[in-house]
Structure 1
Amino acid sequence: MHGRRSRSRCGGSMPPIELGSRSRPRLGSVATARTARSAGRRSTMSLTPNQARIVQATTDQCVLVNAGPGSGKTHVLVERYLHLITKGGFQIPDVLVVTFTRKAARELKERLARRLLEAGRLETSLALETAWVTNFHGLCFRLLRENALVAGFEPASRVQDEVEAADVCQELRREFLKGELAEEALAAEEAGNPVPAAVVDRVGRAFDHSVQVLGRARENLLGAEEIVTVAANRLATLATELKLDEDALAQERAAHEYFGRCLPEVEARYEALKQKEALLDFVDLQTRAVDFLRSSAAARVRTQFKVILVDEFQDT
């Protein structure tokens, strides 16, 4: 979990707090395996000293929690949120909770609502419908949608899931292979040059993987030239490891050069296809949200959240 004030960075940070795991109950985890199993049913279970430190920590410092399986992490996250809302002077719009999956966000909201109902806070429980409890992609989409005008976001845009994204890539692959690769192969054969002709099939087989490479590179905000550089380094390493003979190495180099020339076109076609279909992928959401948050138009949004709690921080 991670908390901070909105107008400045954390004033300081506590040493990491251990919640432990089932195998290390002395570090502050739930006392017994039986208690851990019943944590979901007994939302009012008592807190260990370490758990209480986390729940009651002030928001002028960062708090890092090391938590193993069965340590009561979700229970602590729920109690921390409730403490901020009911005793810390914060309102629901002030607190952002980011989880790793949509399922985790949904379950967290359900547990928060249940605890608030148990405490007789019906109105606050109902207000959770608009709470900022979401995964990272949901956060990016909501930020863009609620600030569509200043963020330059088209509200009608649709976010494609992984299956649909794979279908888009497959369509792109078919179009590309029908065009550029066929022309290259024909030209090479007519010129009597066996090396480029031999690498065409190899490039074709590698194309499926190239779209995945492109996606990972975009996640790291790499441009096409940087991707080609990475590919060149990989090729050099591969050649050394496999001790390729001269002819095979020539084919690999030709494939790399061809891939380097084609990659900008691949990227352009992928972007054009998404624009035509009004589609966004998960990387689009992240990069556009980051661009928006860095802009002057996002000044209000940057000061909106007084506390940020991040679940599964190591994965996000």
Structure 2
Amino acid sequence: MLKDDLLRGLDAQQHEAVVTPPSSIVVHAGAGSGKTRVLTHRIAYRVAEGTAKPENILAITFTREAAGEMRKRLTNLGVDRTNGAGPTVGTFHAVALSLLRQRLIDIGQPVPNIVHNRTALATAAAGTHRMASRPREILAEIDWAHARMIAPADYVQMIKRLQRTPPIAAPEIAEIYKQYEQLKVKRQIVDLDDLLARVIADMRADAGYAEAVRFRFKHLFVDEAQDMNPLQYALFEEIRGGRPDVFVVGDPLQAIYGWNGADRMLFDTLPDALGHTTVLSLPNNYRCSPHIVHAARHVALQTGEAFDITAVREDGPHIRIAGFDDEQEEADGIASLLWQYAPTAGAHPWQSCAVLVRTNTQLLAISKALTRAGIPIGSTRQPPEITAAIALAAQSTSRHGLTTWAADILYESIDEAERTVAEMVRQFVQQDTIGTVDGRAFSAWVAANATVPHPNAGVDLLSFHGAKGREWDCVVIAGAEVGLLPHGSATSTDQKREEIRLAYVAITRAAHQLFITFARKRNTRNTGISPLLQDVPTSIDMPVVAMPTITRMARRASNDPDLLDDLTTWRRHLARSLFQQPTGICSDEELKRLASAQPLDREMTIDDLAAVMGKSMAQRIAPAVLPLFERHASRS
């Protein structure tokens, strides 16, 4: 793609971030500011102007979904892994796995298995201790220690120094942690954090190996850098090797993983650590309506930190805050609120709705209430059928066996889960050609890389943390009350500030409609609206209309929008994807003229579009817009 094409449609701040000459660059990118677009366009621009070769680019993200989205966008920009010579894009774990596999193969050592059931391993490490029934809490402490690069022998001392409160006495956790590490050695398995630790150790011990890695990755790009923990930062620094060619993007207001070992100070002090750093800002929020941006700003101000957020898209409905007597009434009220929203959201209203909670224990009552109300719930976990199919593929002992299994499945099987995994095998074989390629390697690649599709479309139910990096047209923030927001466990100043940032993240997941609910009493405990949301700029306690009957709900769900509604939705989504205002795509008057241009005696054509929008614009929008006219013409 030509350089000028890569710059088209960028705002002034985005343009500056893409074209700034190569150096140490840190970008403060607010929620909805188009940071992924800037990152991918920056990479493509560097390739187009000849200052970076694709095969020397390393782009690190924090989730598999983000890595997949970045790869897709780079491919659309003409930067892909053609003949294996493209940029490397992946999570810290995926990058470390690839480096470690190549390293071990080069020196003739076996590639270790990645543990697939950490819960069982933690239970075995606890033995007869009462914590054996609470493996998730054990793993939370172990993961925190790994992230902070703390060995079992140092755990007790570091817990005191960092003022962390473990679920039981620190010496008991330290002993379970020690047993966990010893079991991994005994069983010849590793967990994902071990991948990073081993690559770091090898690069520090072998200067030749470190130089080879740095020769391969000359240009570093890091997304969501505010969430880096010391272990990830150590790998970043080893690969960087003191060189200035780095482009790091993050948002201090979205640093929400301190409880899991992340240290936002690593990002805050990065300009000084890199030296001679250019610091840029992306303040424009293209995702959220002004009402939502104002609410997010109201919350963010309570951190006492400086920030820059600007709402640039068209306004939407007011935020609604609704209080209920208890958690059950709140759950039923959430269903009612969603049904009130549904008629404004087109033919498939649930596909861009989410209910977000501070703790997962809140989800059960909400899930039951939505089911009673006839509202579908989206899938948030890997289906067991997919897990089983991955296990089948993992039994292949060679590249030939693996590819043959995938080909047979795609040719013969009608099982959707097996076919999905077979497509993943094909992707693995095409992308990951370094070292041994067999079922075990595929299974490890899935653990570190693959994004498994969740086919069930419906309202997503997620924790605030689980919603990070995602967005929906309509969001319900549930349980926005004393004791949950901020969470009662947040006692230190840093923890309380992280709770404020967490509320900010939850609010900015909503693009168009935001509902905030709370219970006045939860589990017999009197609560009340969260202090973080007091005086938020909206109408408080607006009445919630009674939930419609099942008959009425079914009729409403099948009531499709008219053509102008669909065109308005198309314009809004296109504008958001281009980080522009909807009126920058076309004016309201042009949209109305377009909706009325449908011929009565024939199909809509690109020439009809051109008569309203102009020839160039018509050619660009025809693939998306003409099917809308066709659908409405067939309906009438």
TM over 0.5: yes
Aligned to 2:157: 229
Aligned to 1:242: none
Aligned to 1:137: 93
Q: Of the candidates 190, 195, 202, which is equivalent to residue 280 of structure 1?
A: 190
Q: Does the residue aligned with 1:63 lie in a helix, a strand or coil? A: strand
Q: Of the candidates 102, 114, 125, which is equivalent to residue 172 of structure 1?
A: 125
Aligned to 1:36: none
Listed as ranges, the matches of 1:263-302 within 5 Å are 263-264=174-175, 266-295=176-205, 296=207, 297-302=209-214
Question: What per-residue deviation string (whole Å, max 9, x for no partner) do you get for residues 42-98 of structure 1?
Answer: 987522222122111222x21111112222211111111111112133211211100
* Structure (1/2) with the larger strand percentage: 2
Aligned to 1:243: none
Closer, same or farther: CA 73–304 of 1 in aligned 2, 3 Å: same
Letter in structure 1 aligned against 2:94? G
Cα offset, 1:207, TM superposition: 7.8
Letter in structure 2 aligned against 1:74? T
Closer, same or farther: CA 127–68 of 1 in aligned 2, 3 Å: farther
Q: For 1:310 and 1:149, how far apart are their aligned partners in 2?
A: 27
Letter in structure 2 aligned against 1:158? N
Aligned to 2:14: 51
The 8 Å contact of residues 43 and 75 in structure 1, kept in 2 or not, is answered as no
Q: How many residues align?
A: 222
Q: Does the residue aligned with 2:58 lie in a helix, a strand or coil? A: strand
Cα offset, 1:210, TM superposition: 4.3
Listed as ranges, the matches of 1:68-217 within 5 Å are 68-116=30-78, 126-127=82-83, 130-149=86-105, 154-155=110-111, 157-160=112-115, 164-173=117-126, 176-177=127-128, 209-217=137-145
Aligned to 1:219: 147
Cα offset, 1:224, TM superposition: 2.9
Cα offset, 1:212, TM superposition: 3.1
Q: Does the residue aligned with 1:138 lie in a helix, a strand or coil? A: helix
Q: For 1:235 and 1:125, how far apart are their aligned partners in 2?
A: 46
Q: For 2:178 and 2:25, how far apart are their aligned partners in 1?
A: 43
The 8 Å contact of residues 18 and 41 in structure 2, kept in 1 or not, is answered as yes
Q: Does the residue aligned with 1:66 lie in a helix, a strand or coil? A: strand
Q: For 2:59 and 2:76, how far apart are their aligned partners in 1?
A: 17
Aligned to 1:260: 171
Letter in structure 2 aligned against 1:87? E
Q: For 1:304 and 1:291, how far apart are their aligned partners in 2?
A: 18
Higher RCO, 1 or 2 (CA under 8 Å, sep at least 6)?
1
The 8 Å contact of residues 151 and 292 in structure 1, kept in 2 or not, is answered as no
Question: What per-residue deviation string (whole Å, max 9, x for no partner) do you get for residues 3-51 of structure 1?
Answer: xxxxxxxxxxxxxxxxxxxxxxxxxxxxxxxxxxxxxxx9875222221
Closer, same or farther: CA 44–55 of 1 in aligned 2, 3 Å: closer
More deviation, 229-238/135-144? 229-238
Q: Which runs of 5+ in 2 are unaligned?
A: 229-636
Q: For 1:234 and 1:128, how far apart are their aligned partners in 2?
A: 44
The 8 Å contact of residues 92 and 127 in structure 1, kept in 2 or not, is answered as no
Closer, same or farther: CA 76–270 of 1 in aligned 2, 3 Å: same
Letter in structure 2 aligned against 1:91? K
Aligned to 1:310: 222
Cα offset, 1:138, TM superposition: 0.5
Closer, same or farther: CA 237–208 of 1 in aligned 2, 3 Å: closer
The 8 Å contact of residues 7 and 15 in structure 2, kept in 1 or not, is answered as no
Aligned to 1:4: none
RMSD value over aligned CA atoms? 3.5
Question: What per-residue deviation string (whole Å, max 9, x for no partner) do you get for residues 175-223 of structure 1?
Answer: x21xxx6xxxxxxxxxxxxxxxxxxx6x777886445323311221223
Q: Does the residue aligned with 1:64 lie in a helix, a strand or coil? A: strand
The 8 Å contact of residues 56 and 216 in structure 2, kept in 1 or not, is answered as yes
Cα offset, 1:130, TM superposition: 4.9
Q: For 1:84 and 1:64, how far apart are their aligned partners in 2?
A: 16
Closer, same or farther: CA 44–270 of 1 in aligned 2, 3 Å: same
Q: For 1:234 and 1:106, how far apart are their aligned partners in 2?
A: 35
Closer, same or farther: CA 53–204 of 1 in aligned 2, 3 Å: closer
Cα offset, 1:108, TM superposition: 0.8
